[in-house]
Structure 1
Amino acid sequence: MPTSRISHPVFARFYTRVSEVLDHHGLAEHRRALLAGLSGRVIEIGAGNGLNFARYPPAVTGVVAIEPEPRLRATARLAATRAAVRIDVTGGLAEQLPAAEGRFDAAVVTFVLCSLADPGAALMEIHRVLVPGGQLRFLEHVRADTPGRVRVQRLLDATVWPRLAGGCHTGRDSAAEIRAAGFTIEKLERFLFPAGVRSPISFCARGLARR
């Protein structure tokens, strides 16, 4: 049976540094857009080092933030103390969320579906813990826009990239996986980050799906 602890000490240190640099170069704006208009009870899955926390709007009454990696979780707890809304950071797995059915009004995933061993199982869990009509907000690496680039992503994903990047896969079709879990996608924006760069990890999508 899986445990709620996933240890990637080298990646955790790397991710903490790099994520802050990427936010400074424009990713913070995508985080703000992702969380804009949220309200009520929220569960964030794969909270990382807590870079979303400062951007939750005041209409959010509380956030349960799930992070299985202990070093990232410790950093996220520090970030939670500086947030304007109440955020409780805890361990747990996306595939086995420690929450009751229909507990949350919204769920948030930020570069999480690309890194899970079973994103379909995680999305079914998210579906379970949301109220009927609840929102899933997502910001993810996604599949590239040409067959040639997709082949490069598949090669990376089958070899070195997941081992180097904490399980990340560059070319998953997250929108299709979200729909397969029973969600209806209402908003979907595809973009390159950094803007204009077509590397295997630059294809991204931000959107809103509803249970």
Structure 2
Amino acid sequence: MTGRSRPVFARLYARLAGPALERAGVDAYRRSLLAGLDGEVVEIGAGNGLNFPHYPASVRRVVAVEPERHLRAMAGRAARTAPVPVDVVDGAAEGLPFPDGAFDAAVACLVLCSVADQERALREVRRVLRPGGELRFFEHVRSESPGMRRVQGVLDATLWPRLMGGCHTGRDTGAAIAAAGFEVTGLRRLRFPATARATPSSGHILGTAVRP
């Protein structure tokens, strides 16, 4: 599905949620996520382009896929000042408009919580990576606490996805990456933001996986 429009969410994210994440220190995780990448990179769900300033000069080109048209327009503007060439394209992670093995690396940053079909999206990412290609991911995920998992289940079954652009708080994304045929080569669990009390969306994973 392309041309997806969620104008209210897109504007709220760009004006409120995105800047709030940056103030909380997410830029450090973005830099860690992208460090050492090179070659041709595909980023799924690029949003309004907040990752673009952090791509290293060793990256030859980024193809940034974003289905929401308002966020895609903002990403297009952000691409003009990126330190590496960035092409922003319309597309959804569940049906990437690229041939098999087209990319050296893929980036998924705070997006696998909100794709309509996570399993299909990960299969598509695997398809467009060359053998040995790397997936970099930074995602909020299912809590390790049984009590918080119950809270996540209630939120995901009710209002949270509708209010938050399709986001789900309780997906077991690390397991889904492995189930899609990737070899997980590094995974760090962390709380972000690093508040005193956990929230339904504060459990994150930051890691790498390789297409065999």
TM-score range, shorter chain: over 0.9
Distance in 2 of aligned mates of 1:20 and 1:106? 27
Distance in 1 of aligned mates of 2:118 and 2:157? 17
Distance in 2 of aligned mates of 1:126 and 1:76? 20
Q: Between the two proteins, what is the percent identity of the paired residues?
A: 56
Residue 145 (structure 1) shift: 1.6
Distance in 1 of aligned mates of 2:24 and 2:147? 28
CA deviation profile, 1:111-132 (whole Å, cap 9, x unmatched): 1110011100000000000010
After the TM superposition, list the runs of 4 or more consecutive aligned residues in structure 1 that deviate by more than 2 angstroms: none
Distance in 1 of aligned mates of 2:124 and 2:111? 14
Counterpart of 1:205? 205
Tell me the matched-pair count.
209
Counterpart of 1:4? 2
Task: Map 1:103-182; keep pairs closer than 5 Å.
Answer: 103-182=102-181
Distance in 1 of aligned mates of 2:35 and 2:100? 25
Counterpart of 1:20? 19
Distance in 1 of aligned mates of 2:127 and 2:21? 32
Please, which moves more after superposition, 189-198 or 54-63?
Answer: 189-198
Distance in 1 of aligned mates of 2:44 and 2:18? 17
Indicate the SS of the match to 2:133: strand
Residue 21 (structure 1) shift: 2.2
Counterpart of 2:194? 195
Aligned residue type for 2:149: V
Aligned residue type for 1:106: A
Counterpart of 2:72? 73
CA deviation profile, 1:93-137 (whole Å, cap 9, x unmatched): 101101110000000011111001110000000000001010000
Distance in 2 of aligned mates of 1:112 and 1:101? 22
Q: Does 1:31 align with 2:46?
A: no
Indicate the SS of the match to 2:166: coil
Distance in 1 of aligned mates of 2:155 and 2:21? 21
Residue 24 (structure 1) shift: 2.2
Distance in 2 of aligned mates of 1:157 and 1:138? 21
CA RMSD in angstroms comes to 0.7
Distance in 2 of aligned mates of 1:82 and 1:99? 25
